[in-house]
Each structure stands twice: as structure tokens, then as C-alpha cells.
């Protein structure tokens, strides 16, 4: 691989289809592209009205920062309305899901620590988390 990128414009992100054809993922910072060993950074857009699936990450904490749109975040037994300029944290091993609102796409920054799930997205896109 060539030189690691320390600055990555959004247009140069590794881009693909989110799991379940829910929208678009964009991996900006990860070990492969930038050498980041302890986290990865993505900017994702979910299509309006998409309902995410319940899941958990045994080893990954992650957070989201909403850039635009509205939606709902479910973490454990709690429900949170989402909108621009809001941050959300999901601890490791906690069931969670995110739904995009019905009227507009939901775009957010996502950080995973430690990294890992972004590798599945890059390799398999819309089928990244299919059951084998």
C-alpha cells in the first residue's frame, strides 16, 4: 500500500452501500488508509424511512454525531430522538439500532473503537453482516 493519508477529503473516502441497502457508507480513517490502530471514522447516510436492525458489538464502543436529518436511536431499553448537532454513545455489548426519520436522509459521523466492523463493510457492502 502507498503512503498513509493523514488528511482525507470526503470525496476520497472508501464508499459503498450500507448493510441491507440502507444508504451509503464512507470510510475516511482506518488502519488501511491512514494507519489508525485504535479507531475508525466513517460518514454514513441512511435513506429516509430506513429502519436499522438490532445488533451489538462485543468489543466495539462507538459513537455517532448527526450532521443532518432526523431519526431515532435505540440503546438497550431507551429511545432517543436524533437531529443535527447531537452526539450518541453506544457502549460495547449493548443492543442498539438506529432508524432514519421518514422525511429526510440521516447523515452522521461514526467512530468505532477499536476498529473492525468497517472492514466488513469495505469487503462486503450491503451484505457485510449477513448470517453465514
Distance between CA atoms of residues 127 and 27, nearest Å: 16
Distance between CA atoms of residues 91 and 58, nearest Å: 9
Entry field: residues in the chain: 132
In degrees and rounded to multiples of 5, residue 20 shows phi and psi of 70, 20
Please give the average pLDDT of every successive group of 10 residues along the chain, which has 132 residues.
86 90 93 93 97 88 96 97 97 95 97 86 77 60
Residue 118 burial class via C-beta count within 10 angstroms: exposed 0-12, middle 13-18, buried 19 and up: buried
Distance between CA atoms of residues 14 and 46, nearest Å: 16
The CATH superfamily label for domain 16-126 reads Jelly Rolls (2.60.120.10)
Distance between CA atoms of residues 103 and 66, nearest Å: 15
Residue 20: per-residue pLDDT: 83
Residue 3: per-residue pLDDT: 85
Amino acid at each position: 500500500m502507498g503512503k498513509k493519508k493523514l488528511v482525507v477529503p470526503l470525496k476520497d473516502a472508501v464508499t459503498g452501500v450500507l448493510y441491507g441497502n440502507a444508504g451509503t457508507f464512507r470510510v475516511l480513517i482506518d488502519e488501511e488508509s491512514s494507519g489508525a490502530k485504535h479507531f475508525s471514522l466513517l460518514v454514513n447516510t441512511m435513506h429516509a424511512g430506513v429502519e436499522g436492525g438490532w445488533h451489538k458489538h462485543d468489543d466495539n464502543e462507538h459513537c455517532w454525531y448527526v450532521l443532518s436529518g432526523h431519526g431515532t436511536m435505540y440503546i438497550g431499553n431507551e429511545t432517543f430522538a436524533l437531529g443535527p448537532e447531537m452526539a450518541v454513545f453506544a457502549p460495547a455489548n449493548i443492543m442498539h439500532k438506529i432508524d432514519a426519520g421518514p422525511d429526510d436522509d440521516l447523515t452522521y459521523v461514526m467512530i468505532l473503537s477499536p476498529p473492525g466492523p468497517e472492514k466488513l463493510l469495505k469487503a462486503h457492502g450491503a451484505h457485510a453482516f449477513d448470517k453465514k
